[in-house]
Amino acid sequence: MANKQIEMRKVKKIFKLYSAGVSKRRISSQLGISRNTVSKYIAFF
């Protein structure tokens, strides 16, 4: 689903997990979103 916004709590969770050293693959599987989505939000970080 292209350009579908995700919930703010998931965005915060992405940043929290990534800061803790969790891989993008693991973050995407935990939150049920694609790795590309995780990478997109991390790029803003």
What are the boundaries of each domain within the chain? Answer: 8-43
The answer to whether residue 2 scores a pLDDT higher than 70 is: no
Query: Residue 43 — very low, low, confident or very high, per pLDDT cuts 50/70/90?
Result: very high
pLDDT tens for residues 14-37? 999 999 999 999 999 999 999 999
pLDDT at residue number 26: 98
Q: Which amino acid would we find at residue 24? A: K
Tell me how far apart the alpha carbons of residues 26 and 1 are, in angstroms, rounded to a whole number. 20
Classify burial at 11, counting beta carbons within 10 Å of its beta carbon; exposed 0-12, middle 13-18, buried 19 or more.
middle
The answer to whether residue 42 scores a pLDDT higher than 80 is: yes
pLDDT at residue number 6: 85
pLDDT at residue number 28: 97
* Rg value, the chain, Cα: 9
